[in-house]
Amino acid sequence: MGVVKKEKLMSKLLGIGIIFMLLFSSSTSAFAKGVNLNDPAWKIYDDCFLNYSGIWLTYAGGCETTEYDGYHYTQASNCKVEFDFMGSKLRIISERHYEKCSSNILIKIDDNIVERFSGSEMKNYGVDNLRVVYEKLNLTNEKHHVQIITQDSNYFNISAIAVDKNGALVSNPKVRPLLSKNPIKENDVFTTDIILDDGINVCAEDLMLSYDKDLFEYIGYEKIDGIKQCRVGVDRNLGKVRCLISHNKINDSYKERNKNIIRLKFLAKKDGRGKISVISGITKDSSGIKNNILNDNCKNVEVSVNKSDDGGLGDLGDLGNLDDF
């Protein structure tokens, strides 16, 4: 075969290959397209930000990216994912998988939108392993509550969600005291770290704590690395401490896990048992959204003191508010 004929044959084969690729790629569902993690029109949040109930397992290292490197999956019915977000658009993102995927997944948005979607698109090939399996546009631009509920025992996984660029996932933070040691000896100084859990993009907190004023005396605080600014006021008569805290700049889609935000110092005045409690709080995220910390998410710790104040109401009103940070 001459050189010219070979070149023509190769050209035809290449053309057929390109046409085949285009036809194959166009046959995939519009919701099964690969996810562009850098798309400026969307904010993507990892699956670890969401709340799960039922039988869920986790897998890490299943994506080509280092940031979204795992997912939650289930093969049981009546398993639920819940979250809140601010915004007008929503995407559910799964990782492509070879199991038989459920085609009957229920999604509720504010209880007035009830739809079903299929995870079978995850079996289609695309740009990468991440697939959009559900999309909702043109929602009212406000806070929405989302529930995703499996209806059968077929496979389903969730790797991430995405909201519009001006939206944000609303966090459900928890705050707890963590003692440096327990029990404490009478007349010893001890510290309690205040720990933030499950805060998404949190940049500031306004916390109110109480302590047993008969057993303990508040003597000061320490600022933690990564914290930009702290202001602390104390009411020794009531045994209350108010903490205003602002963080250094953080990246979007960042979830605080076991984040120490301030260290409080106390003196153990006498033997006995008493509590140090988070009684209320507000967080503010990098989008300016403020969230009240739910009562159930305000934790306490009991301190045991074994054998071995000045009064005055602090002017908490001068401390300002979260808008100062």
pLDDT digits (tens, 9 = 90+) for 36-76: 667 888 988 888 888 899 999 988 743 333 355 578 999 99
Comparison of pLDDT for 37 and 315, the residue scoring more: 37
Q: Which domains does the chain have, with CATH numbers?
A: 30-170 (2.60.120.260), 174-320 (2.60.40.680)
pLDDT at 19 over 60: no
Q: Which residue has the tokens 């850098």?
A: 38
For 199-244, the pLDDT digits (tens) are 887 889 999 999 999 999 999 999 998 899 999 999 999 999 999 9
Give the contacts of 314 (CB within 8 A, at least 6 positions apart).
233, 234, 235, 236, 242
Helical (H) or strand (E) element with 134? strand 130-136
153 Rama class: left (phi>0) / alpha (psi -120 to 50) / beta: alpha
Q: Which of 26-30, 97-101, 121-125 has the lowest mean pLDDT?
A: 26-30
pLDDT of residue 268: 97
183 cis-preceded (ω within 30 degrees of 0): yes
Is 0.85 surpassed by the pTM of this model? no
pLDDT at 26 (0 to 100): 30
Q: Does 98 or 212 have the greater pLDDT score?
A: 212
Judged against a pLDDT cut of 50, whether residue 25 lies above it is answered with: no
